[in-house]
Structure formats: C-alpha cells, structure tokens
Structure 1
Amino acid sequence: MSEPNLVPKRPDMVTIADVARHAGVAVSTVSYVLSGKRAISATTRERVLTSVRKLGYHPNAGARALASRRANVIALVLPLRSGMHLPVLMQFATSVVTTARRFDHDVLLMTADEGPAELRRIAASAMVDGLILMDVEMHDPRVPLLRRLERPSVLIGFPADATGLTCVDLDFYQAGQVCVEHLARLGHRRVALLGAPSVVYDRDTGYAHRTRAGFTETARRLGLTATAQPCEENVDSVRRELAGLFDRQPDLSGLVVHNEAAVGQVLAALPALGRTVPRDVSVVAICPDEVAERASPALTSVLIPAEEVGQRAVTLLMEKLAGAEVPEGTLLDPRLTVRASTSAPVLSPTAH
C-alpha cells in the first residue's frame, strides 16, 4: 500500500490526525497506541509508530494527559553488547519481569543499543510508564536526557555523577574490597584481579571500574602487592594471561576473578600451569552463586544479587510512579561466601 501524500510540515505542526492519515487508521487508534489504553494488534501498532517516527510527531499536552492514564508497561533497556554475560543479564531481566507482574505491569524489552534519541521516542510515544536501564557507563550519554524526561526512570548501575537520578546496584567498590580483605586475612601478600573483558573497560562501564578501584585501593591500604588487568573470555587468552602473570610474579598466590564467563577457563588453566587450587593459588570470584557452586573446587565468591537488584529497581520505579520520594542511590552490601577455593598459602609457587 503506498503512503498517502502529505504536505511536509515542521514536526511541531504535525497533528494526531496527520499520523492517523499517514498510517491509514482512525485517530482513535493512534490515541490507543500512544496511550496504551486499549490493546492494539502488533501490526497496527507498528504501523502507527512508524508514522510517528517518519513524521516526527510529538504528543501535545492533550495527548500527554491521555498518556497519564498509564500504559501499565515499563521498558527494560538491556543492551546486548560484547563483553556482557548473557546468563547473568537474563537473571536481571527475569527478576524485572516477574516483579513488574506483581505490580500489574508488563515489560517492553529493548535489546538494541538504545541511545538518547530512541529513549526520547519511547517516552514521547506513551508506550511505557517508565524505564529501567542497565549497562550504565561512567559518562553515559543517556544521563542528561533521563534527567529531563517526564517519564520516571531507574538505573541499574551508577554513572560518575548520579545527581538527580535513581540508581541501584551492588556496591562493586566494596565487592573488590572484601575479596582482597579475605585473601589478606588468609595470609596472601601478592594478588591479582582478572577483570571484565577489555571492551567493557573501553566503554567506561561503571561496575568494572568500581570493582578495580576497590581491589587496588584496598590492596594498597593493606600493603599487598596487587595487579589488575582485563580478562578475555576464550580459553587461549585466559591461559596466556595467567602464564604471563606467573612468569612475572612467581609468588602470586591470590586471584580475584570478576568475569563470570571466564571462571571455568581460569580453573581449567591453573592446573595446566602447575598451580593447584587452593594449595598454590586461592581463587575468589564475583559471580552468581550457581556459577560458584558448580565450579570444581567450589568457589569462594561475592554474590551478584541479580534477583534483588531487579526487584529493587522495579519497586523504586513503582514508588516514583505513585509520586513517592525515593532515595537517589541504593547500594547493596556485598555478601562473601567462603567455599573450597581459598585457604592460607601453603607452598610457594616458586617451587614449581
């Protein structure tokens, strides 16, 4: 079907009637799509939203008033980018979806790399009541827009400047800290952090930087010799990185792994390099419990509390929608569980 001929207008002059004519639907259908007040077929909804985008339509005050009746939908912005571990991401997503249902809300999952323009479009379309965003960068380009949007939002993660935002996450700085403190109490004096893949640091992702800062600053405070470096996820890279560490530091006896996808490769590479866990090298991971418990030996770990963080994010968003005051920042204290992968250093690795 060819598109109706329209006289080009400035975006601020485009009306809901223009959108309806462009999409070939009734004005009421456009209103229902924008407000979420009534169920509309996916095909029709997409046709209307395509017209909204092409014409540059932004709802006027009347449309915004209609949208205030609630769509009962929240958006979860979950960019699937390199360096992100899909099973953990899905734990966050599952928690958000199940918690939202308890509040009688559905979740619109946005899996593309949504920038400010796309967030503005979603908020203006009244498809959602609010937004939850993940994979937050230290200087995230979405932050200035989120401060201005009429739709409330919650970030899972903290940018460098969280003023005027609502953020929730594990306290990753403290997570790095408690890992080092645990190894120091056992008597380890030379430790290393195998962190997220380099692309995660290159994106300036907040949680990776905070873990590294907590690790290095705590090691310095306790007088430990510490090394921190990115860790890729493939077997060859992990073995090469570990071999390099031990070549440079034969007495390295404590490892902290903050890369769920690389945990198995690290544990497989250590025996091949002549190191036994935990006799020669103690290993602490920052990961979900199921990853730590399945490992051999079972890993001492700091839990990534995906379920609790997702629940908190949705609850904070619902409180904001209800007009309640909420804290700007919610940091969850890390919980370290001691398992079989850590002990006092027994043999010097220089004996190998």
Structure 2
Amino acid sequence: MTDHLDARAVRMVDVAKFAGVSQTTASRALSGFKSVSPATRAAVEEAAQTLGYEINLAARSLASRGSQSIGFVVAEPSAHLWGGTYFPRLLQGITEATEGANQQLAIFMPQPNISHQRLRRYLAQGHVDGLLLITSTRQDPLLVDLMRRGMPVVVGGRPIGVAGASFVDVDNSHGAAMATSHLFERGYCNPAHIAGPTDTAAGEDRLSGYCTAMTSRGRTPVFREATDFSFQQGAEVALAIMREHPETDAIFAAGDSMAMGALTALRTIGRDVPGDVGLIGFDSSEPAAQAIPPLSSIYQPVEQLGSEMVRLILARVKDPAQPAQQRILGTRLVARDSSSGPVVRR
C-alpha cells in the first residue's frame, strides 16, 4: 500500500515522476489536452489520485478551451423531484437558457447515501465547464469539494452551512410573511403553520417569515415541522395541529402539495375551507389552482430562477476568479377562494 503525501505538498513534478513522464506531459494530461494518449492520461490521473494531488478544475477547463457543456447535478431523491411541479418548471428554465446560450446540458442524478466518488471522477475529466447544483443537504460534501477544487458552481436555493457559494433563491421569508399577513387581513385570528423540514433553506426561511408575521402582531407562533413537503405530510401535520390547537382557524402550508394534503385532512374532520379554516400554500402550482376550492398560494418564479442560475454559471465559467454572486428573486401573493374569510357563526 502506497502512503499518500500531504495534498498541500504534492506538486506537478511529483505526479510526473510517479507516472514516469515529463512534467509538461503530466500537466497536459491533467488539463485535458487531446494530444496526450489515453494510456498516458490514465497513468497520470492514477498517479494524481494515488498521491492526493488536487486538480484545479477551473484551470483545466480554461486550458482545454472549454467543453461548451454545463452540468446539472440533482442531489435529491427522485420522489421529491417528480412529486410536484417545482422541478419540471426549474428544468424548463434551465433548458431554455442553456439552449439560448448554445450550451449542452448534462444532467446527473446521483442517488442519496451513495458515494459521489464516481461523479467526482467524471467531473475531474473536464466534461463540463461548470455545474448547477440542487441539494437540500446541510454542508453538502459534494458542493464543498467542488468549490475547493475550483469548479464553477451555482446552487439553486440557498445552501445550508456552506459560506461563499454562488446561488439563486426566492425570497422565502418575505413570501411566508406575506401569506401569514394575508390570513390576518382576511379576518382569520389564529393561523398555524405546517413547516417544511428546517434542515432545508426553504423550510427554515418560510418558518422564519411566518414567525416574524406572528410576533409583529403580538401573537405566539403555532407550527409543526413536517419531514418533507409531500401531500401525505401535509395531511398528517394538519390533523396534528387541529388536534393540539383546536382554536386554529387558518393554516399556512410551506408548499402547495402540503396544502392539498391539509385540505383533504380538514374535510375528513368536518372542517370547511374557507369558512372554518382558511388555507394558503407556497408555489402557486397548477394543481393548487384547480383544487376545490382553488388554493391561495405564494407564487415563486421558478423558471426565472433556472435561467438566472445559467446566467451566473456562464459568467463564472468566463471568469472563475469573480466573487461569489447571490440573487434573491421576489415572490407575490395569489389570493383564491381558500382564504376568502371565515364564516361568522351566530
């Protein structure tokens, strides 16, 4: 077994000596030059991996004049992606933007709890010039590793626990405060919140916005955290809230799928929406608009979020040394029948 050198001490000359080639050849092999034979390239890459040499991905892409390809890594369970309208809308925005910029889009969907080592090896070969990343993992090790290696990366949504990353997100906190304020303005007195998982930026920020709106009115926040943003969790948490806080006369759910689940659950216990309980979600999805009654919601410009991610990543590919950029997009209220006001009982 070969002992690894300290990565900070490993130089290109060490890699070249280990692989039995010149330093120039080693540099060209790791920079993706096509003049290097496959056998030599494989030997140099194996030497770099054995010694722990850190390849600067940004420099490699620049040296090879780019691949004209952008990677899109979705580090989320597939059930989360296709269970709602968010991901298809995001993908539409990304696809239209990459096509407009004459870029190829390569999509990677590594399964959770499986090593990302194979993906890292693929990316290290310079097949893409930059990455768009969707992840809800706190301190995502893939994001940390790619930033450390110099790969241009833009994250969709505020990354949790990783400083200095470029990202595009919507103003989740303001949107949540707007939803909660809307319920008060419509005459509801005791709005509760079905919170998304607080280990996600969306869950954390929407809970913060709800709490701000409540405390600014001198009210005590009433919320219960769901394990995900699903219909099933919305139904289960809504029932728990109504059981533990029967005075609740309105619910703000952190996502439309959750709100749809809450609507179904409220019907099972004989609560009318909007007469007994007002209801509002977050996403303004098509299913929410078609519900009976149509669900009020907070609109977020998901397609614009995707296109803005592409704009930022292309700028970072062009100039990897530019400082990290963060873009926060606005949200707006879409009021429908589900929050039209309580029925006054006489």
Query: Is 2:285 aligned against 1:292?
Result: no
Q: Is 2:173–2:209's contact at 8 Å kept on the other side of the alignment?
A: yes
Q: Which residue of structure 1 aligns with residue 261 of structure 2?
A: 265
Deviation at 1:79, TM superposition (A): 1.5
Q: Which residue of structure 2 aligns with residue 336 of structure 1?
A: 333
Q: Which residue of structure 2 aligns with residue 209 of structure 1?
A: 204
Query: Is 2:57 aligned against 1:56?
Result: no
Deviation at 1:101, TM superposition (A): 1.4
Partner SS for 1:278: coil
Deviation at 1:161, TM superposition (A): 5.8
Match of 1:90 among 88, 91, 99: 88
Deviation at 1:190, TM superposition (A): 0.9
Shift of the 155–270 alpha-carbon distance from structure 1 to 2, 3 Å rule, reads: same
Match of 1:229 among 224, 230, 252: 224
Deviation at 1:141, TM superposition (A): 3.4
Deviation at 1:222, TM superposition (A): 1.7
Q: Is 2:15–2:47's contact at 8 Å kept on the other side of the alignment?
A: no
Q: For 2:245 and 2:180, locate their aligned partners in 1 and report how far apart those are by CA, in whole Å.
A: 17
Q: For 1:85 and 1:60, locate their aligned partners in 2 and report how far apart those are by CA, in whole Å.
A: 32
5+ unaligned residues in a row in structure 1: which ranges? 1-6, 20-26, 39-43
Q: For 1:260 and 1:241, locate their aligned partners in 2 and report how far apart those are by CA, in whole Å.
A: 14
Q: For 2:223 and 2:42, locate their aligned partners in 1 and report how far apart those are by CA, in whole Å.
A: 47
Shift of the 210–82 alpha-carbon distance from structure 1 to 2, 3 Å rule, reads: farther
One-letter amino acid of the structure 1 residue matched with residue 107 of structure 2: L
Match of 1:71 among 60, 67, 70: 67
One-letter amino acid of the structure 2 residue matched with residue 127 of structure 1: H
Deviation at 1:326, TM superposition (A): 6.9
Shift of the 213–124 alpha-carbon distance from structure 1 to 2, 3 Å rule, reads: same
Q: Which residue of structure 2 aligns with residue 172 of structure 1?
A: 172
The range that moved more, 320-329 or 175-184, is 320-329
Match of 1:317 among 313, 316, 322: 313
Q: For 2:245 and 2:32, locate their aligned partners in 1 and report how far apart those are by CA, in whole Å.
A: 62
One-letter amino acid of the structure 2 residue matched with residue 56 of structure 1: Q
Q: Which residue of structure 2 aligns with residue 100 of structure 1?
A: 98
Shift of the 101–155 alpha-carbon distance from structure 1 to 2, 3 Å rule, reads: same
Q: Which residue of structure 2 aligns with residue 195 of structure 1?
A: 195
Q: Which residue of structure 2 aligns with residue 185 of structure 1?
A: 185
5+ unaligned residues in a row in structure 2: which ranges? none
Deviation at 1:66, TM superposition (A): 6.8
Partner SS for 2:281: strand
Deviation at 1:34, TM superposition (A): 7.4
Q: Which residue of structure 2 aligns with residue 41 of structure 1?
A: none
Deviation at 1:236, TM superposition (A): 6.8
Partner SS for 2:191: strand
The range that moved more, 77-86 or 127-136, is 77-86
Shift of the 318–188 alpha-carbon distance from structure 1 to 2, 3 Å rule, reads: same
One-letter amino acid of the structure 2 residue matched with residue 98 of structure 1: E
Deviation at 1:148, TM superposition (A): 2.8
Query: Is 2:342 aligned against 1:345?
Result: yes
Q: For 2:43 and 2:194, locate their aligned partners in 1 and report how far apart those are by CA, in whole Å.
A: 45
Deviation at 1:224, TM superposition (A): 3.0
Q: Which residue of structure 1 aligns with residue 76 of structure 2?
A: 80
Aligned residues: 320
Q: For 2:251 and 2:66, locate their aligned partners in 1 and report how far apart those are by CA, in whole Å.
A: 49
Q: Percent identity?
A: 22
One-letter amino acid of the structure 2 residue matched with residue 205 of structure 1: T
Q: Which residue of structure 1 aligns with residue 303 of structure 2?
A: 307
Shift of the 51–259 alpha-carbon distance from structure 1 to 2, 3 Å rule, reads: farther
1:66-102 CA distance string (max 9 Å, x none): 7441111111110132873424223222321221111
Deviation at 1:51, TM superposition (A): 10
TM-score of the aligned structures, taking structure 1 as reference length = 0.75
Q: Is 1:59–1:125's contact at 8 Å kept on the other side of the alignment?
A: no
Partner SS for 2:165: coil
The range that moved more, 123-132 or 226-235, is 226-235
